[in-house]
Structure 1
Amino acid sequence: MSSPDTLCRKAIPRMKRIVVKVGTSSLTYDNGKINLRFLDHLARQISDLKNRGLQVILVTSGAIGIGFPELGFKEKPAYLPYKQASAAVGQGILMNIYEHLFREYGHVVGQLLLTKGDAVNSKRYLHMHGTLLSLLELGAVPIINENDAVTADEIKIGDNDTLSAIVASIAEADLLIILSDIDGLYDSDPRKNKNACLIHEVPVFTRDIFRMAGGAGTSQGTGGMYTKIQAAEICVHSGIDMVIAKSTIPEVLERIMDGENIGTFFKGENVHPQLKKRDIIIGTAVKGKILVDEGCRRALLTKGSSLLPVGIIGTEGRFSEGDTVAVYCQNDEVARGITHYSSEDIGLIKGLHTEQLKEGLGMEPPYDTVIHRDNLLVMK
């Protein structure tokens, strides 16, 4: 642990891509009604950060918490179908408010309903990654929520804390900011120990930090400090910095991005960009091989190139779009990645230049690359 005057945060003002996660306890009052003042404050801050030139992704809880009072419940129901019904109602209400507020501040939003399963299924990961980066490239604010309305096994404690860390990793963000009803990580439970001290910075993550965390938070929300530490562990090992801070601090996002000593800062490890891709690519079964020529091998190894059809000479095995495949040059594995094309389609476009793909496929090609460099792990 470190003292408040360390320099861990000095890089924050130079960061360009951030993920902001906000919990149900911040979005609603104790009676379950929507806290419109907070939502307006949040939208204004994110819009101002966008105006600075930052790319911002918002991961929001609140669908169930906002939906259950609308259906006449006095508290969050325990019966799973009622939770899902509450989510179905709450998602629409929440997005309608976000869309209205951000439009007032001159920005467009796009909704993605995801689950943690989207990050471990390579085909779903591929499409999620592409959609997320396209929204950022086109200047929109992606707003992400877990898909509570249909995904039973995802409705459990802390899902959106860990989901926000997974989103940060997929988006290759510089920083994750988790806003909640707590100031940050304390050395003991401040509800039980009035002398508990706020830890301002965690330059090195250790498993001992979990011992400082408690259980779930408020009756509206699902996540306690423990799940935020789980999110920190994911971020740190992905090379992403993270801050836990109290959502009610005035201009909290802008002040964090200015480098102010607010909340608890977790320093990401120095992770090589290639290693960030390892879990999704190495962690899934290889379904086949793509065989490339020597020129393609050199481009992949030395130039950081995507895998293009022109360098492909053949395939082995049958695989589909979104499968993990190995890339071979003669008998050596050069790389591994998630393919945009099936083995059958690669048979039609192998050796072709980009401008020839439409003729080879007999239709407009969905991608210029067979494996984009963002989804390609070069094997050392």
Structure 2
Amino acid sequence: MTRIVVKVGSSSLSSASGGLDGERVDALVDALAAARERGDEIVLVSSGAIAAGLAPLGLTRRPRDLATQQAAASVGQGALIARYAERFSSHGLVVGQVLLTADDVTRRSHYRNAFQTFARLLEFGVVPIVNENDTVATSEIRFGDNDRLAALVSHLVHADRLVLLSDVDGLYSGDPRLPDSHVISDVRGEDDLAALDIARPSASAIGTGGMVTKVEAARIATGAGIPVLLTSAAHAAAALEDGPVGTRFHATGRRRPTRLLWLAHASHTQGRVSLDAGAVRAVGLRKASLLPAGITAVSGTFSAGDPIDMVGPDGVVIARGIINYDSAELPELMGRSTHELAAELGAEYEREVVHRDDLILV
């Protein structure tokens, strides 16, 4: 059994006028259902909620302001999931809606719960349909695009493969509109990407993504040991059968603890702590935990369990981690040893500010 996460973008599900294209949705579902019939497990990360809400609200293109985007998402998410549910039902399959915010993958208790939910849905034979919870996500704390979300979900559910479906056939050697450009069949690492011009977003009027976000998603997934196939939604059936289509990004790393992947790629940090030179060496070179004695300043408002940045004396971020104290507690602890703090304040203060298992160097 192969567990596949499939991501489809708004432009692949929408009509030229901006509304949901039912025929495109149906074609995608038919391909996914065929994969299920072969015994594969499918998790679908689907954009399209905002696009589906445009027509009912009388909008002709994706709004730029967050409030209107969230209104469109609120209207469109129901229409999108209803269409999926209807079409999957014709194949005898049940769908389950999973709406995530970035907070769900930065707080350990949240992502553990998310993993358990996905696991149980798959046990029941349900097809989870995932989207960012655009209705409540704030502009400061959000994934930003569903390509990144799909890569993180792939790691969360222990996927064997990630398939990114777009409106292009794959990663091209240059501008796809030029006759001498061609699809690159395999990407095995950064060296293969170095010569390509992929800094040019190709976002449509409907979606937010582009080739930049897809390559970044591929980096996240392959760096965690998950191979990625990028192709167009029209080739969904072949992609799910692992056929010779699109661009294959080969795994470059190995699976790492989930919380570290969240920290590296999903966390919007809530604040920062400044480290002295000794603490920078301890954290960066000796892979040690961060202790109160090495902190020189605290900025931002955060609570225990929040992700924070750790910066050196020059202001450069050296690491990111999960803090064990509230921001209000830290000022009186700075520069003091844990033994001194435990003697004065109690044994609960003889703990790390950030444990080495909960930080990642950047």
**Contact 1:217-1:223 within 8 A present in 2 as well:** yes
Percent identity of paired positions between Structure 1 and Structure 2: 38
In structure 2, do the counterparts of structure 1 residues 277 and 80 end up closer, same or farther at CA, with 3 Å as the change threshold?
closer
2:122: which partner in 1? 136
In structure 2, do the counterparts of structure 1 residues 172 and 71 end up closer, same or farther at CA, with 3 Å as the change threshold?
same
1:334: which partner in 2? none
**Contact 2:50-2:69 within 8 A present in 1 as well:** yes
1:222: which partner in 2? 208
- Aligned-pair distance for 1:205? 3.7
| Separation in 2, partners of 1:99, 1:178 | 21
**Contact 2:108-2:259 within 8 A present in 1 as well:** no
1:277: which partner in 2? 258
Say whether 1:201 aligns with 2:186.
Answer: yes
| Separation in 2, partners of 1:159, 1:76 | 14
What is the letter of the counterpart of residue 197 of structure 1? H
- Aligned-pair distance for 1:159? 1.0
In structure 2, do the counterparts of structure 1 residues 323 and 188 end up closer, same or farther at CA, with 3 Å as the change threshold?
closer
Say whether 1:34 aligns with 2:29.
Answer: no
SS at match of 1:152: coil
Q: Deviations over 1:250-281 (max 9, x none)?
A: xx33x22433210000011251x4x2436159
| Separation in 1, partners of 2:85, 2:167 | 24
Say whether 1:169 aligns with 2:155.
Answer: yes
Specify which of 265, 275, 288 is matched with residue 248 of structure 2.
Answer: 265
2:286: which partner in 1? none
What is the letter of the counterpart of residue 4 of structure 2? I
SS at match of 1:112: strand
| Separation in 1, partners of 2:141, 2:239 | 30
**Contact 1:210-1:229 within 8 A present in 2 as well:** no
- Aligned-pair distance for 1:116? 3.0
SS at match of 1:243: strand
| Separation in 2, partners of 1:28, 1:44 | 17
| Separation in 1, partners of 2:233, 2:130 | 18
1:84: which partner in 2? 70
**Contact 1:178-1:245 within 8 A present in 2 as well:** yes
Specify which of 153, 164, 167 is matched with residue 178 of structure 1.
Answer: 164
Query: Which has the larger displacement, 67-76 or 90-99?
Result: 67-76
In structure 2, do the counterparts of structure 1 residues 270 and 80 end up closer, same or farther at CA, with 3 Å as the change threshold?
closer
1:94: which partner in 2? 80
TM-score normalized by the length of structure 2: 0.69
- Aligned-pair distance for 1:152? 2.3
Q: Deviations over 1:92-142 (max 9, x none)?
A: 100111111111110011000012332121111111111011111111000
- Aligned-pair distance for 1:323? 10
SS at match of 1:87: helix
Specify which of 135, 155, 165 is matched with residue 149 of structure 1.
Answer: 135
What is the letter of the counterpart of residue 125 of structure 1? Y
Specify which of 82, 92, 102 is matched with residue 106 of structure 1.
Answer: 92
| Separation in 1, partners of 2:263, 2:204 | 38
What is the letter of the counterpart of residue 189 of structure 2? V
- Aligned-pair distance for 1:158? 5.3
**Contact 1:115-1:163 within 8 A present in 2 as well:** no
| Separation in 1, partners of 2:164, 2:182 | 19
Please provide the CA RMSD for this pair: 2.9
What is the letter of the counterpart of residue 268 of structure 1? A
1:247: which partner in 2? 233
Specify which of 208, 220, 239 is matched with residue 256 of structure 1.
Answer: 239
**Contact 2:103-2:141 within 8 A present in 1 as well:** no
2:58: which partner in 1? 72
SS at match of 1:18: strand
Structure 2 residue runs without a partner (length 5+): 268-304, 308-356
Say whether 1:236 aligns with 2:226.
Answer: no
In structure 2, do the counterparts of structure 1 residues 270 and 215 end up closer, same or farther at CA, with 3 Å as the change threshold?
closer
- Aligned-pair distance for 1:62? 0.5
| Separation in 2, partners of 1:269, 1:116 | 25
| Separation in 1, partners of 2:259, 2:132 | 24
1:304: which partner in 2? none
| Separation in 1, partners of 2:6, 2:121 | 16
- Aligned-pair distance for 1:188? 1.1
In structure 2, do the counterparts of structure 1 residues 262 and 36 end up closer, same or farther at CA, with 3 Å as the change threshold?
same
| Separation in 2, partners of 1:181, 1:166 | 22
TM-score normalized by the length of structure 1: 0.66
**Count of matched residue pairs:** 273
1:356: which partner in 2? none
